[in-house]
Structure 1
């Protein structure tokens, strides 16, 4: 396998960072593994180290930044990004890939699957499970039949997730650094786009694959 790789693991849990490091070292003994527990640290490392692959959790300290892939590539265009998340693969995998990830993997995977995903992303430039491949294919062939959640913008998607998690308008405004009136506007747009009128109905769309 590859030698002298620089791999950055971005996760706010030490046990996850160290676990990934052990798995990487078994398959890539000569790899240099760097760690970041937040996005600011990740960007600083990418600025000074020629990172080949980022194993990235898109939720750090309870906050998701869907634009982090775009921000990373502002500093290194050809860097590979494998999202490693607790999110459901069928619901979120395609969205992250559409927003710049080269692959998506759920944290409930086996060690062998993680190794496969890392190897595939490094060797071929991408890693798509069969579920994600099918989802991307459906979106490409006929967008009208894709999950309705795909109609949301990235910011609307973030707000919708916070709403179903129980966050109020003030909390959402503080977390996203926006006005409460803006949160209300997003909520109206979300309900209109998804044709729902309450949080319970919204939550069902996020839990069920409607394809």
Structure 2
């Protein structure tokens, strides 16, 4: 496998991250071709035009989140293998990236040896998942809510959770929905109970993470 030329795409808005990753790729797969991009918009274009085999991409770019382009990458090249290389917490985010089409997920906080292993596994096995990710995948089979805690909410609860995330208060929500303020307070308590959270900061973070991507 090492003797075959493999075409990589490194997509990250920090050039130092791409340079460091290219050094590791050159050591693991000396006969490789590596394309770089710092732009989310260029990723699918490069996948189409350069016959990329393995893409190593960040989760966040200045021009958006890469989650929604994973299916586009797979459409452009159904054989492409995608490794998400990100600073996002694995236990909170890995499942939604897998669902979108990722073949691997490794944290930027990992030791170098683990990152090497991720690249090597992507080359030889076409996937890389840590023990944490594999455990979550097993749990997800039995509990699909893991991928998105907001799926526990009713439509009205989700609507109100989004309004809180947009910065509205109880009175504004009550006025907009033409319901009583104490009804809003009751629904807010239900939302907090279902999501196992204690304050609006946690709610806003959950909505941004799982709903407004």
Change (3 A) 1:205 1:44: closer
Q: Do residues 117 (structure 1) and 118 (structure 2) align? A: yes
- Return the alpha-carbon distance in structure 2 between the equivalents of residues 125 and 60 of structure 1: 25
Q: How many residues align?
A: 177
Q: Which residue of 2 aligns with 1:81?
A: 82
Change (3 A) 1:37 1:204: closer
Deviation at 1:114, TM superposition (A): 1.2
Q: Which residue of 1 aligns with 2:25?
A: 24
Q: Which residue of 2 aligns with 1:172?
A: none
- Return the alpha-carbon distance in structure 2 between the equivalents of residues 67 and 60 of structure 1: 12
- Return the alpha-carbon distance in structure 1 between the equivalents of residues 86 and 33 of structure 2: 22
Q: Deviations over 1:41-99 (max 9, x none)?
A: 22221121111100011200173132110111121111000000110011111221111
Measured on the aligned residues, the alpha-carbon RMSD in Å equals 3.2
Deviation at 1:122, TM superposition (A): 2.5
The answer for unaligned runs of 5 or more in structure 2 is 153-157, 169-175, 177-186, 208-213
- Return the alpha-carbon distance in structure 2 between the equivalents of residues 168 and 204 of structure 1: 12
TM-score by length of 1: 0.72
Q: Which residue of 2 aligns with 1:44?
A: 45
Change (3 A) 1:205 1:47: closer
Change (3 A) 1:65 1:42: closer
Deviation at 1:112, TM superposition (A): 1.6
SS in 2 for 1:67: helix
Deviation at 1:142, TM superposition (A): 3.2
TM-score by length of 2: 0.71
Contact 1:93–1:105 (CA<8 Å) still a contact in 2?
no
> Which stretch shifts more, 108-117 or 195-204?
195-204
The answer for unaligned runs of 5 or more in structure 1 is 170-180, 182-187, 207-211
- Return the alpha-carbon distance in structure 1 between the equivalents of residues 36 and 167 of structure 2: 33
Change (3 A) 1:8 1:75: same
Larger Rg: 2
